[in-house]
Amino acid sequence: MRYAYYSGCTLHATAREFDLSTRAVCSRLGIELEEIPDWNCCGATAAHATSHLLSVALAARNLALAETQEADLLVPCAACYHRLVTARKEMSENPHLRERVVRIIGREYRGRIGVRSLLEVLDHLDPERLAAGVVRPLRGLKVACYYGCLLVRPPAVTGFDDPEQPQVMDRLMRQWGAEPVDWGYKTECCGAGQGFSNEPVVLKLVRDILATASRAGADCLVCACTLCQSNLDARQGHVNRVYGSDFRLPVMYFTQLIGVGMGMEARELGLDSLFVDPRPVIRALG
Amino acid sequence: MVPLNLNRAIKEGARFVRRLEAESGQKISDCNQCGKCTAGCPLGFAMDLMPNQVMHLIRVGLWAEVLESRTIWLCSHCAVCTTRCPRNIDLARVMDSLRITARREGRIGSERSIALFNEIFLDSVRRYGRAHEFGIGLRHNLLTRRPFKDSDLGRVWLRRGKLKLGTRKIKGAAEIDRIFSEVERTEDGR
Amino acid sequence: MPRTGVFVCWCGSNIGGVIDCPETAAAASGFPGVAFSTDYKYMCSEPGQNMVIQAIREHRLDRAVVASCSPRLHEETFRKTLVRAGLNPYMLEMANIREHCTWVHGADIQQARIKAVDLVRRAVAKANRLEPLFESEISVTRRCLVIGGGVAGIQAALDVADAGHEVILVEREPTIGGNMVKLDKTFPTLDCSACISTPKMVAAATHPNIKLYTYAEIEKLAGYVGNFEVTIRQKARYVDHEKCTGCGTCWEKCPTRVPSEFDAGIGQRTAIYIPFPQAVPNKPVIDREHCRYFATGKCEICAKLCPTGAVDYGQEDLVLTEKVGAVVAATGFGLFDWSRVYGEYGYGQYPDVVTGMQFERLVNAAGPTGGKLLRPSDGATPRTVVFIKCVGSRDEAKGRRYCSRICCMYTAKHALQVLEKVPGASVFVFYMDVRTAGKGYEEFYQRAVNNGTVYVRGRVSKIYQDGERLVVRGVDTLLGRPVEVDADMVVLATAVEPGSGAAETARILGINTDQDGFFQEAHPKLRPVETHTRGVFLAGACQAPKDIPDTVAQASGAAAKVAGLLSSKWLSTNPMIATVNEALCTGCFLCVPVCSYRALEPKKITERLPGHPPREREVAGVNTGLCQGCGACNVACRAGAIEVRGFTNEQLLAEVDALCQ
């Protein structure tokens, strides 16, 4: 199983552990990742809030590069996934747009490859093969699976699971022995995009998500988006300061927890570089 | 309050509506003001105009109020509205189009910070091909005159080697710059 | 000594979940006259009924008390059970321990148990005094009267006629067709109203089973179900329709012009006229009030020009009677006269503020403008048209509190018509709600929106004329701001109300009207086309505001009821009616005016008392065909001479005694 791998900018910076754990887990599961040579930023929210054409063109260059690798594109980060999958869909539905974009990026693009999120790929793996990888089940770990916005919405674009009651991550966590909690904020926006400019607004959203997860009895949050992870993790201290709360909920990438289940070391998975240290929770698993 | 002359307002707003509909691919009059977008909007609590009001103001020609609102910049494009709209309106896309229009027409109201962030972010992408979080954060802090905002987070990231002070261009950086120029040229040519 | 059986039903958990039914049955076994008592889960079920029959046979019971639900639900069921057991069906008394007890006293089980036993005791006390009653049969005249020749009346008449019964169709206007034929197009399919209604008009007029009276009104309805006699006044037309060929010379040459009722006052007609070219019958009448000859004694142009000598100024009203077995009231609706009360909209003084019906005529190809949308004041094409909904509807202060049901849809239609007829026009609709409950209706409304109609949520507070324009000042509540529209024309969706003369028709027919003046149906859900007067049925907007599809459906429903009634030559009557003890009756006749069904009237009897010569005197008599057994006369009778069978004074007092124990 071979994929063209799009890691994205943050996976080389603040979300380095997502890249680390993705590569480690995939290699263990026999998923071959071939990084797209000289990939560029997908444009993120800044591009589509500035120019629709630009947002498609920036993503399209990566799609065009991946096409030369003749493999579907695999994207761990939900934000990048969203941009790439949107661009792909828009160009496939609008040949006129595709022609225009091809002219702008100066590369051939035929729309032959698919864009897959890592979660989706893992969900389609043979369960027995997955089960064979579990050496240290996450037994008793109560996890709140947080899907956020960009994986699931709009469903017509992402086509990912159920937009209101997604289950993919819950299913995966259950396979690894963890106990996903039922909670109401699985797909509520955390406002990460506003982090730079409107922190008070974002803190309220983060607080609500953390509080709901805590009330549901979660030991930690699991997510699939770099924006969400850093927002929920790094701003927990600010939330506690502003709201006088005492949240200490580790926020991990799903790949990190899978890695733990596979018996990997905390350092290998970047568990030591998060704000809220997840290691006590992991250690408590025994 | 002086009554709004609807004939005039709608007539004067017709061109804006046409352009917005072309830009977003959404039909403004499709909205029947059920308010489900507002009901589900996670940022609604901080907005000056509710999402459904945005649609209505555009419909009756009061687009200037919309362009200058905080709302269009507070919208996080989470697309809850789009997902749940009974009339299949992609309101998140409309919000995008409004941001694009506001920027193009230089009508950004009091909520400038996000627009500025987008500009800095894209500037980084244009120059290097990728987004350099450290540089972007720093520039944004300086330009918004809040030099120490999130510096506690930055310090941690730096210490853990997650933020790199230096910048490196991708090989195709020139290609990316050309993409930006081409897009600008195409859009100006319209 | 009576042998009464008591049967207590659990009704599943409806009753059994609240009270202890075996305990209630046990308590009943001690009441006087009770020879047997038991309980069962569902007494109305097949095994339950068989249990009743078996108990009657085994214990030689001669009457039964069923303690269960409302008699409205299952009295008929258990009467039939008694018949199967060989008893007279009226030897049954129901004790309603569900609606009157467990459903309302579930919160206080102790009191519910006591009340259930009380209710059964009451029923037993009455049952012990029941007498067998017997139904009688009356003959049925297999003809039907339909009042009103709009689409409701036409449909009902056609359906009854097709079922093989003779129909008398009476219309007060010179033509049939009613309101529907005035409309231009019909929502939501936009088919031409005349195209779909005129063929029906012709079909009604030519049907061999339909006898048509136009320009005629009913004056009196006597008799009762199966045997009515209706008095019809054929108004003088001053034209002999036998001779008239409908050539049109008279109305072309008539010098008098008056506003046309058919065109809602915006067009004109002559004094000798047909309301519109496709009128049925297609022959004129003379409007005596406006005719120059009748006013001045001079003119006679029509009479002089008529090639067949059909004009007859000496014609007089004709009063005739017809016998029928059933009546369908289909008298339609009227429109709220906004100009009397809506000063803020100009009291009708601005010529370009028109009603929805006037708009229909303005866009109708057969209307006064030939279908061109021109505003009344100066004949200019209006470029901005404002529609205001709920004018008189949902307005408790000035109009009526109810929703008129059709305005949302016809306003959407009007909006589409303006957009179609005037390219580039601006159309605004001020509304409080948009109600589109009907097949294809919401889609139709969306079409109006998609085509560019601007719907503004809010009422209009004021309209005033400012030069050539009308300024419409309203509110957009979604915006939370007052708004203004400069309009060339304003169309008001005026409320639907009972037709003029509805109250009088109700009086003649002996039926009730509701709080708004519409004819009252017997049950809002289960008997929507019947009235409380047996044999009188309802069709169309005379019962409540209704659109065409619902009107036609109800008309066919009424026709089915009529056909059912007329399907047999004989009809059995309800024996539970009033009866007069002639010896006690003093002939005061207080009972006559209290009877809603006109079932009581004075009659002469010859009284023979021992030791006295025979003498004639007047006492009250009951028409068994008309009496509905309501008991109003019973209450009014000071001498205690009137009783209702099945509810005699003795029976009622026994019940009261039992309850007061």
C578-645 CATH pick, 3.30.70.20, 1.20.1290.10, 2.40.30.40, 2.10.109.10: 3.30.70.20
Q: Model confidence at C384, in pLDDT bands (50, 70, 90)?
A: very high
Query: Which burial class, exposed, middle or buried, applies to C250 when counting CB atoms under 10 A from its CB (0-12, 13-18, 19+)?
Result: buried
CA distance C483 to chain B (A): 4
pLDDT at B104 over 70: yes
Secondary structure element (H or E) that encloses residue A74, with its range: strand A73-75
Q: Are A56 and A90 in contact (CB under 8 A)?
A: yes
Q: How confident is the model at residue C624 (pLDDT cuts 50, 70, 90)?
A: confident
Q: Phi, psi (5° rounding) for residue C343?
A: -60, -35
Taking the C-alpha atoms of residue C452 and residue B30, their distance in angstroms, rounded to an integer, is 10
Measured over the CA atoms of residue B169, residue B173, residue B179 and residue B181, the dihedral's sign is positive
What CATH number is attached to the domain comprising A98? 1.20.1050.140
Q: Do chains B and A touch (3 or more CB pairs under 8 A)?
A: yes
Cβ(C26)–Cβ(C15) under 8 Å?
no
List CB contacts of C423: < 8 A, sequence separation 6 or more. none
Please determine, for residue C107, whether its predicted confidence score (pLDDT) is greater than 70: yes
Q: Which of C516, C540, C637 is nearest to C587 (CA)?
A: C637
Residues 40-69 of B with CB under 8 A from A: 42-43, 45-46
- Do the domains at C143-235+317-332+499-565 and C334-497 have one common CATH topology? yes
Q: Check A149 against B113: CB less than 8 A apart.
A: no
The helix/strand/coil state of B148 is: coil
Question: Can you give the pLDDT at residue C228?
Answer: 96
In the predicted structure, residue B168 carries a pLDDT above the cut 90: no
Contact B100 A153 (CB under 8 A): no
Please identify which residue in the block is written with the tokens 């009753």.
C15
- Concatenated DSSP letters of C492-548: EEEPEEEPTTHHHHHHHHT--B-TTSSBPPSBTTTBTTB-SSTTEEE-GGGTS---H
Q: Is residue A178, in this structure, part of any structural domain at all?
A: yes
CA distance B163 to chain A (A): 5
**Chain C residue whose CA is closest to B28:** C450
Record: contact C483-B4, CB cut-off 8 A: yes
Amino acid identity for residue C17 in this structure: G
> In this complex, do B160 and A13 lie within 8 Å of one another by their Cβ atoms?
no
How far separated are the first and last CA of chain B, in Å rounded?
40
Res B134: pLDDT: 86
Touching A: which chains, 3+ CB pairs < 8 A? B
Q: Closest to A189 (Cβ–Cβ): which among B80, B96, B140?
A: B80
Q: What is the mean pLDDT of chain A?
A: 94
The CA distance from B88 to the nearest CA of chain A, in Å, is: 10
Given a cut of 70, is residue B190 above it in pLDDT?
A: no
State residue C146's pLDDT score: 98
Q: What's the average model confidence in pLDDT over A246-270?
A: 95
pLDDT digits (tens, 9 = 90+) for A49-68: 999 999 999 999 999 999 99
Task: Give the residue from B8, B3, B111 showing the smallest Cα distance to B66.
Answer: B111
Directed axis angle between helix B6-24 and helix B51-59, to 10°?
120
Closest chain B residue to the Cα of C486, Cα to Cα: B7
Residues 77-136 in B contacting A (C-alpha not used; CB under 8 Å): 77-80, 82-83, 90, 92, 96-97, 99-100, 103, 111, 113-119, 121-122, 125, 129-134
| B144 contacts A47? CB cut-off 8 A | no
Share above pLDDT 70 across residues of chain C, in percent, rounded to a whole number: 100
pLDDT digits 0-9 by tens, B12-30: 999 999 999 999 999 999 9
The pLDDT value given to residue C574: 87
CATH number for the segment(s) C4-127: 3.40.50
Tell me the domain boundaries of chain C: 4-127, 143-235+317-332+499-565, 249-305, 334-497, 578-645
Is pLDDT above 80 for C203?
yes
Sign of CA dihedral A236, A239, A240, A241: positive
Report whether CATH 3.40.710.10 matches the domain C334-497. no
pLDDT at B111 over 90: no
C218: region left, alpha or beta (phi > 0 left; psi from -120 to 50 alpha): beta
Query: B161 CB near a chain C CB, below 8 Å?
Result: no
Q: Are A256 and A270 in contact (CB under 8 A)?
A: yes
* Yes or no, beta carbons of C485 and B5 under 8 Å apart: yes
The alpha carbon of residue B72 is apart from the nearest alpha carbon of chain A, in Å, by 10
Q: Which of A11, A158, A189 to mutate to test the interface with B (most CBs of B within 10 A)?
A: A189
CB contact under 8 A, B57 and C479: yes
Of B154-158, C14-18, C56-60, C538-542, the range with the lowest mean pLDDT is: B154-158
The helix/strand/coil state of C353 is strand
Domain total for chain A? 2
DSSP C311: B
Who contacts A194 (Cβ-Cβ below 8 Å, separation ≥6)?
Answer: A201, A202, B43, B74, B76, B114
Domain boundaries, chain B: 6-104, 113-189
A210: containing domain: 134-283
C484: chain B residues, CB-CB within 8 Å: 3-6
Q: Which of C299, C300, C270 lies closest to C285 in space, CA to CA? A: C270
CA distance B6 to chain C (A): 5
Beta bridge partners of C268: C259
Contact C180, C330 (CB under 8 A): no
Query: Would the CB atoms of B6 and C482 count as touching at under 8 Å?
Result: no
Q: Is residue A128 part of a domain?
A: no
3-state secondary structure of A122: helix
Q: Do B4 and C456 touch (CB under 8 A)?
A: no
Q: Which is it for strands C268-269 and C258-259: parallel, antiparallel or unpaired?
A: antiparallel
Is the pLDDT reported for residue C630 higher than 70?
Answer: yes
CATH number of this structure's domain C143-235+317-332+499-565, picked from the four choices 3.50.50.60, 1.10.10.10, 3.40.50.300, 3.40.50.1820:
3.50.50.60
Contacts of B150 in chain A (CB under 8 A): 195-196, 199
**What element of type H or E holds A215?**
helix A199-215
Q: Shortest CA distance to C258 belongs to which of C245, C275, C238, C281?
A: C275
DSSP structure class, residue C583: T
Set of chain B residues whose Cβ sits within 8 Å of the Cβ of A201: 43, 46, 74
Across-strand partners of C601? C621
Q: Give the distance from residue B90's alpha carbon to the nearest chain C alpha carbon, in angstroms.
A: 17
**Does residue A133 register a pLDDT over 90?**
no
By CA distance, what is A51's nearest residue in B?
A: B100
pLDDT digits (tens, 9 = 90+) for B134-150: 889 889 888 888 888 88
- Which residues of chain B make contact with A39, given a CB cutoff of 8 A? 170
What sign does the CA torsion over B47, B51, B55, B56 have? negative
Check whether C540 has a pLDDT greater than 90: yes
Q: Which two tokens stand for residue A61?
A: 């260059």
Helix or strand holding residue C321 (H, E): strand C318-324
A8 belongs to a structural domain: yes
Query: CA–CA separation, C186 vs C196, rounded Å?
Result: 9
Q: Final residue of a domain: which of A70, A88, A119?
A: A119
Nearest by CB to B6, which of C450, C456, C478? C456
Q: Measure in Å the smallest separation between the Cα of C397 and chain B Cα atoms.
A: 25
Whole-number Å distance between alpha carbons of B63 and C220: 66
Size of interface A-B (CB pairs under 8 A): 172
Overall residue count recorded for chain B in this entry? 190
State yes or no: chains C and B have 3 or more CB pairs below 8 A: yes
Q: Is residue B3 less than 8 Å (CB to CB) from chain C?
A: yes
Contact between chain C and chain A (3 or more Cβ pairs less than 8 Å apart): no
> Looking at the domain assignment, is residue A22 inside a domain?
yes
Q: Under the phi-then-psi rule, with left for phi > 0, alpha for psi from -120 to 50, and beta for the rest, what region is C488?
A: alpha
Q: A229 and A160: one domain?
A: yes
Contacts of B5 in chain C (CB under 8 A): 483-486
Is residue A286 scored above 80 in pLDDT?
no
The mean pLDDT of C293-319, rounded to a whole number, is 96
Q: Residue C44 above 90 pLDDT?
A: yes
Q: How far apart, in Å, are the Cα atoms of C396 and each of C390, C400, C516?
A: 11, 5, 12
Contact A43, B130 (CB under 8 A): no
pLDDT of B159 strictly over 90: no
Asked if A153 lies within 8 A of B80 by C-beta distance, the reply is: yes
Q: What is the CATH number of the domain that holds A145?
A: 3.40.50.11810
Closest-CA distance of chain C to residue B149, Å: 38
